[in-house]
Structure 1
Amino acid sequence: MIDPQQNARVTVSEIAQLAGVSVSAVSNWRKRYADFPVPVEGTAAGDFFALNDVLVWLERRGKKVRAPKPVGLNELLWGVANALRDVGEANESLLLAMLQVLTLWRSSIKLNARAVSEEPSLWSGLRAASEDQLPVAWRHAVESLPVGDNPAVREVLSAPSVSWRAVRQVLVAVDRLANEGMREATARVFGEAVSLVIAQMQDSQAIRVFGSSTPRSLTSLIVQLLSPVRGIVYDPAAGHAMALAEAAREASEDIQLVGQEIAEYSWRVGVLHLALCGFEATLNRGDTLLHDAFRGRVADRIILDPPFNTRLTSTDIVFDPRWKYGTSNVADWMWAQHLLHHLAPNGVGVMVVPIASLSRSGRDAMIRARLVEAGELDAVIALPPGLVAGVNVFTALLLFDRTRAAKRGDVLFVDARQLGMSRRGLTNELTP
């Protein structure tokens, strides 16, 4: 991936791509020719060379230069993620660190666009700082951000999730985004690319160990079931905010995004994900069932993909107006009641559940019966196994649609268990 800017830097592998030779051939050139360009920067991931110096040297040596292939925004962002892999940082930190640096970069563009006179940009100060100077430069950059309306963004950016050595590496990688085409990418285009890279990283085994994720095809189906997407859109178990971002893109009018997430890492990723997409949102952190941050409010559309089979103790379950149909030691049907409690009179909600919860006896059976008798449940869609990464069980969607009238006792059952698509040995996507 080669930046067409005149001040771009390239790696040994990218020089090999330019010259149409192997990496080992470039390594031999460095040893054989005393006039081979000197690296402008050396990192744990390897040396970086000035692209202009390399092009001049190749021409002087009579080496044919291949025109670089056009590189899309998705590929560039994936290259930024790989920069962290190259320095051996923890997998859990990789995604968050990339989003932190990208948020600073995008914010610097907005600040520069607003500037009346020329002055050193937020980004220039960061990229020029040495590793020792980075803590101060980072703090100054965060303090300069125009995020007064969203203090969560500033909180997440307060300290990078990786070492300063890794931050320096990612700053170099993000510089590859700085050509005019990428700089001028609209918030929607840039946001879609960020969402795609997050999804790709969720699909990888390295990221999967830190929590399951809803596949893109299932997220798309859920959002379609909510159509038209309008009003207040709420996700009580927001994760990386993939569903909220998808809902915002599908909305034909201005909507309000709200959510809550228990895992601090996922919450931090979700906050920056929505900010990079250009969506204003309120994403709270905490245990939704025990500490409901949305108390007293209702939503027009609710998306819910909660953790499966979470156990609750008797001390966890206290009197709460949410538990209209009863309580259980297994959280699946408590989540369903949470959804219904916050669903507006003309609202629509969709929830992912393990299919076993549809036939579980005891208190769960009692809650199900009461819920169906009250006419709350509209449809059950059985899904293929393995859709949720790391959870190789059959799942289902529950549809709650309060826009329908005279529906008591009328529940639609759809068997879509055979509509899965195998990929890398896993059935983890729905067919179109």
Structure 2
Amino acid sequence: MSNWRRRHDTFPPRIGGTDASPHFSLTDIEMWLRDNGKRGKGRSREWLWPRFEALGDRDETGLAIAAVGRLLAGEQNDGDGSGGAAPAPGPVRAAVELGRREGSSEVLMFLLRRWLDTHVRQIPTTPEPLADLMADLALRTCKPFVGGHPDDPLRVLDPACGVGNLLAAAATAVPTELNRPAALLGCDRDPVLTALADVRLALLPGPETRGLAPVMTPGDSLRADPLIGTQADMVLCNPPANERDWGYEDLAADTRWAHGTPPRTEPELAWVQHCLSRLRPGGSAVLLLPPTVAARKAGRRIRRSLLRTGALRAVVALPPGSAAPHSLSLHLWVLRRPAPGEGPQGPGEFLFVDAAARFPRSTARDSGPDWGELGAFIRSVVGAAGGARRGRATEESGAIVWAATVPVIDLLDDEVDLTPGRHTTSASGHAGPRLAAGWREVGELLDGLRAESASLAALELALGREGQPSATVAELARAEALTLRSGRLPDEAVVPEPGRARVPLLTISDLLLDVSPSGWAYPDDAVVVEPGDVVVVGVAREFSAWVHEGPPMAVGSQIHALRVDPDVLDPWFVAGSLKAPTNARHAGTHASSSSRIDVRRLQVRRIELPEQQRYSEAFRHLAAFERLADRLRIVAKAVGQDLSDELAAGHLA
């Protein structure tokens, strides 16, 4: 807006703040943009969100979004959605009007995603690809027709539903896979989340979800289950983890603890038994749990009972980054209540799937959970559980399948450790080629490091030049020596459209997780960096700057793109100067590692272009040196792990 203020006399005056950080009226700005034809197409939702943010705290904003959903769902059911309700607040009315024009589900999901992004640390959610996988695994292992008519709705329960991601996945999967409707039941102790789940499920798009009547009830499923007596064909759950105040004293003699009273330190095993108690005979449950639940000593008695009775059928280790907390390899537990005629003991073998080892995060920012490949692998292994050899990885279509079926009797030892990595190993003969390739790359990286280090070590550093004049990014932008653009997230998930090209989307979450760009964006709706642009990360924890050399890429919020005038500035000189740690200290808030960097305050020395190019060459060598060192660390760790496994297995010739 600073450019518009400078170039247009009709731009609205500021209503507060300072010249450096002015405050404007949102209504005035919106009217001015509309009158001057500068309001971007399809940006109506962006103008809507600040009005919800201004409502107050998390709960008030969440309830307002739920009110939008109720009104939009009411319009679908009774024509106007009024129902004699009191007049809605201004932001709610505006959202409903926008929903009528752009689609009820689209507008509601936009508001819901923005709300979740704002409170991401307070409200953990199950990523949609993982929710789809969990629903599919439950469908593959349940026998829903026992005791009912094939056309009856399949009942799906989530006793800790949050905003309903797992139930939304089931609402699509059940009609698609079984050609029968789904009856969705959910509960959460946070009434705001329950209200949001209710309207989100009522407005699901697609013909397979029409006519759904979800039943979402607020309440604590462990302490006072409002859905007591419910029997479901499928239970999907991502329960709260590591809680100590879950009701241990009040529930010591609860009838749900058929496999033993959960210790105070094992709330997850209370959720496991609660989900089992809500299953019909032949029904299945899939839970997302921390990896420690599989091995903690306090829970071994319950794990032993789950194995003996056949209630627990499989444990799947997911790659880190699959869901929060992203640093852990979370586990999926697949459970089933035996159907009549199956007997109380269940199967004699247990399935382990180590997808964390099958899909390691091998390189920084160029690998992460590929949900297409990861989901296909887990589905195929669980679907053919009897094909793996005991305690060994097997081969399928030439690829290593990191899975094993192990006799239950072999697991009933003193530890009852159900960690997949302890029961699956790599197939013999596959480490040798990997080690050979790894050692070749180590040699190439060392040669590159020697060359770059020689170039850098030869640089002569002069003293006494600290007083040279400098310019901030803001000053360079005003002088039109560069253009500063700040990234943003798309309004909604981008799905492929025939004939419309997409570009990868890099977000702060991708940088924090060291994965490749995880999303997509359409170029006309995003800030796209081209080769030669300077990319600057505006978060202190991941502060960096580099010259983009790859294909076009969109950037999300708190990532900025600088396009320099090549007649005035050298991009490598600018990126190297901005990246200096002293710049971050000068432009940061210093409040915490998550504080933001004010990119406009970053400084670049004022020197002539030929002198910039001399520094640019040194910055290029420094960037190459850092890339090689990072890659060497990753490759050396992988080689060390493979070699350690081979030596420990006695494979030294």
Fold conserved between structures, TM > 0.5: yes
Partner of 1:417, secondary structure, is helix
Partners of 2:160 and 2:188 within 8 A in 1: yes
Distance (Å, rounded) in 2 between the aligned partners of 1:254 and 1:176: 30
- Relative distance call for 1:289 and 1:30 in structure 2 (3 A) is closer
Equivalent of residue 220 in structure 1, options 92, 107, 132: 132
After TM superposition, list the pairs within 5 Å mapping 1:20-169 onto structure 2: 23-24=4-5, 28-30=9-11, 45-47=26-28, 54=35, 69=41, 71=42, 77=45, 79-85=47-53, 87=54, 89-108=56-75, 110-111=77-78, 113=79, 141=82, 143-144=83-84, 167-169=89-91
Q: 1:237-296: CA deviations, max 9, x gaps? A: 111112112211222121211121111221222222223336311112111111122322
> How many angstroms apart in 2 are the aligned matches of 1:395 and 1:284?
28
What's 1:270 paired with? 197
Q: Distance in 2 between matches of 1:193 and 1:378?
A: 40
Give me the TM-score of the superposition, normalised by structure 2.
Answer: 0.45
Q: Matches of residues 280-295 of structure 1 in structure 2 within 5 Å?
A: 280-295=213-228
Query: What does 1:184-203 align with in structure 2 at a 5 Å threshold?
Result: 185=103, 190-191=104-105, 194-195=108-109, 198-199=112-113, 201-202=115-116
1:215 counterpart letter in structure 2:
P
Larger deviation: 256-265 or 348-357?
256-265
**What's the RMSD between the two structures over aligned residues?**
3.8
Do the aligned partners of residues 23 and 30 (structure 1) sit closer, same or farther apart at CA in structure 2, a change above 3 Å counting?
A: closer
Q: Structure 1: give runs of 5+ residues left out of the alignment.
A: 1-12, 14-20, 33-42, 59-64, 114-120, 123-140, 146-157, 161-166
> How many Å separate the matches in 2 of 1:49 and 1:431?
32
Q: Which amino acid aligns with 1:324?
A: A
Task: Tell me the number of residue pairs that the alignment of Structure 1 and Structure 2 aligns.
Answer: 333
Distance 1:99 1:403, change over 3 A: same
Q: Provide closer, same or farther for how the CA distance between residues 200 and 384 of structure 1 changes in structure 2, counting only shifts above 3 A.
A: farther
CA shift for structure 1 position 211: 2.2
Match of 1:397 among 302, 316, 332: 332
Amino acid at match of 1:172: A
The answer to whether the aligner puts 1:241 opposite 2:164 as a matched pair is yes
Is 2:232–2:279's contact at 8 Å kept on the other side of the alignment? yes
CA deviation map 1:204-226 (0-9, x unaligned): 2x211322111222112111212
**Distance (Å, rounded) in 1 between the aligned partners of 2:58 and 2:217:** 24
Q: For residue 304 of structure 1, what is the aligned residue in structure 2?
A: 237
Are 2:315 and 1:380 equivalent residues in the alignment?
A: yes
In structure 2, relative to structure 1, the CA distance for the partners of 1:109 and 1:359 (3 Å cut) is closer
Residue 171 of structure 1, aligned match among 93, 111, 117:
93
Q: Deviations over 1:338-363 (max 9, x none)?
A: 1111111111210111110110113x
Q: Secondary structure at the match of 1:423?
A: helix
Q: For 1:415-430, list aligned pairs within 5 A.
A: 415-417=354-356, 419=359, 420-421=368-369, 423-426=510-513
Contact 1:218 1:429 in 2 (8 A): no
Which structure has the bigger radius of gyration?
2
Distance apart, 1:400 and its partner CA: 1.4
Q: Determine the structure 1 residue equivalent to 2:573.
A: none
Superposition TM-score, scaled by structure 1 size:
0.66
Contact 1:385 1:427 in 2 (8 A): no
Q: Distance in 2 between matches of 1:208 and 1:292?
A: 26
SS at match of 1:28: coil
SS of the equivalent of 1:412 reads: strand
Contact 1:208 1:389 in 2 (8 A): no
SS of the residue 1:413 aligns to: strand
Corresponding position of 1:150? none
Partner Cα separation in structure 2 for residue 295 and residue 109 of structure 1:
31
